[in-house]
Amino acid sequence: MNKMTIDPAKSIPAFYAGQSILLTGPTGFLGKVFIEKILRSCPDVREVFLLMRSKTGSNINERLEKILNLPLFEKLRKERPSIFEKLIPISGDVNKKELGLSATDRQMLVERVTIIIHAAASVRFNNSLKYATFANTRATRDICILAKNMKNLIVTDWQKIIEIVETLDEHTLNIFTAKCLDYAPNTYIFSKNLAEKVIQDYSSSFPCAIVRPSIVIPTEKEPISGWLDNVYGPIGLFIGGGKGILRVACLNKTVNEDAIPVDIVIKAIIVVTWKVGLTTYDHSITDSFIQTPLVVNCTGQKYISYQDCIKMMFNIANEIPFEGTVWTPHTILTDNLVLFYILTILLHILPAILIDLILIFAGRRPMLVQLQRRVYVANRAVSCFSFHEWKYSNANRLTLTSLIPHDNLDPFSFDCSNLDIRTYCKNSAIGAKKFLLHEDMSRLDAVKAHNKR
């Protein structure tokens, strides 16, 4: 059968054939993995517009070229080098009003784009209300306006918040933030909550969906195991613990953490888009599953407590140690804030001051006190999550998984119930050494000897 005649309802790649996708956040962790997966598994996609901003010393084309040289894209570079021609960088900035798009680019996107994947977001928990609102809420509104071809909208609560942060001065806004966050633990949750309200309000105008991943962690297997590209959240804590820098952590050690490999999240996004996009092929569908914004909780299906996870990671760190370890890896876990503060002073700050003094006398730049300060702030910022057990509804995930055509299960199933946690964590540790720290795996014996001493 000719591939152009395949029913899109029975084939995910057939659905994406000829589609023009706008992706925001293409330089982020999720964005990069989405680009790789969509080009490799849905090669007949027409084009993928990448909303990017220029940085000092590099324009958007240079930034894209740098991204495509990452190990993540090595398989595609060998198998389909010409497919990268489908990537079209567009100059813009989600932190700017109307996404910072030029009139020409905006018109082109309005005319050509058929699917929008809004993956851009600020995931820091302690951003200012203004920055978080611009990046997470206003950007979502502007994406929806673009999708609706810029028609006038009715003012709602989220729009009032955007108007407030656009007009108030910083001092007044700081006071307002304390009141705004009365029911939300941080600006991230507050702004993302508003962003979901934006999607709900626009869902009557065009098909919408929301994918909510838990803690996003390195790839399970696609296109390579353990790939990651930045020191963030759990990875930063693992590296800090493995190097003996992180000696105390503030969390409830009996709570189960929920994390999900990034390639599983991307598969979920692709399948959700396929399901929602089918409404454009058959407007007679009356399935209530897609009458309101489809919300899919993309969460792990394997549960392990923080205490057991950290114990396992230290065992892996002994097997695959990091270079430059400064202290025997061991982390004290506590949910007592007073004890956490005292131990931070004794085990983090005082040793950091000593090491920084040694660095200064050696003519090098001090860094450890500043690093430990950031660790403390990060620890406190995530405490609202690490102190409580979170339960997620998996009904929509299970329904979606059951709808994936049988022939598409291998490349697109986002079921991770068979994930071997230890093997996965070991591959992630290797990935951290190779892709982040650029350490030579052939030096393991020498590193083990150093750590033993």
User: What was the pLDDT predicted at 2?
Assistant: 46
Classify residue 152: in a domain, yes or no: yes
C-alpha to C-alpha distances, 95 to 32, 49, 74, 371, 394, nearest whole angstrom: 19, 18, 31, 27, 32
Q: How far apart are CA 445 and CA 20, in angstroms?
A: 50
The total number of structural domains in the chain stands at 1
Classify residue 268: in a domain, yes or no: yes
Read off the amino acid at residue 50.
L
Dihedrals phi, psi of 48, to nearest 5 degrees: -130, 110
Residue 439 structure tokens = 């350490």
* Tens-level pLDDT at each residue, the chain (453 residues): 344 467 777 888 988 988 899 998 888 888 899 999 999 999 999 999 999 988 877 788 889 999 999 999 999 999 998 999 999 999 988 888 888 888 899 888 888 888 888 888 777 777 777 878 887 788 888 888 777 763 333 344 556 677 667 776 776 777 667 666 666 677 777 778 778 888 887 777 778 888 888 888 899 989 999 898 887 767 777 888 888 888 898 888 888 888 889 999 999 999 988 888 886 544 444 444 445 788 888 888 778 888 888 888 888 888 888 888 877 788 888 888 899 899 999 999 998 899 899 989 888 888 888 888 888 887 877 777 888 887 888 888 888 888 899 989 999 988 888 888 889 889 988 888 888 888 888 888 887 777 777
Classify residue 380: in a domain, yes or no: no
Classify residue 309: in a domain, yes or no: no
HEC letters along the chain: CCHHHCCHHHCHHHHHCCCEEEEECCCCHHHHHHHHHHHHHCCCCCEEEEEECCECCECHHHHHHHHHCCHHHHHHHHHCHHHHHHEEEEECCCCCHHHHCCHHHHHHHHHHCCEEEECCCCCCCCCCHHHHHHHHHHHHHHHHHHHCCCCCCCCCHHHHHHHHHHHCCHHHHHHHHHHHCCCCCCHHHHHHHHHHHHHHHHCCCCCCEEEEECEEECCCCCCCCCCCCCCCHHHHHHHHHHCCCCCEEECCCCCEECEEEHHHHHHHHHHHHHHHHHHHCCCCCCCHHHCCCEEEEECCCCCEEHHHHHHHHHHHHHHCCCCCCCCCCCCEEECCHHHHHHHHHHHHHHHHHHHHHHHHHCCCCCCHHHHHHHHHHHHHHCHHHHCCCCCCCCHHHHHHHHHCCHHHHHHHCCCCCCCCHHHHHHHHHHHHHHHHCCCCHHHHHHHHHHHHC
Classify residue 189: in a domain, yes or no: yes
Classify residue 98: in a domain, yes or no: yes
Show Cβ contacts of residue 294 under 8 Å, excluding neighbours closer than 6 positions.
Answer: 208, 209, 210, 272, 275, 276, 396
Q: Look up the domain containing 42 and give its range.
A: 12-214+260-300+391-412
User: What was the pLDDT predicted at 159?
Assistant: 62
Q: How far apart are CA 380 and CA 249, in angstroms?
A: 9
User: What was the pLDDT predicted at 151?
Assistant: 34
Classify residue 337: in a domain, yes or no: no
User: What was the pLDDT predicted at 153?
Assistant: 30
Classify residue 209: in a domain, yes or no: yes
User: What was the pLDDT predicted at 158?
Assistant: 58
Question: What's the CATH code of the domain at 135?
Answer: 3.40.50.720
Would you say 159 and 195 are in contact if contact means Cβ atoms under 8 Å apart?
no
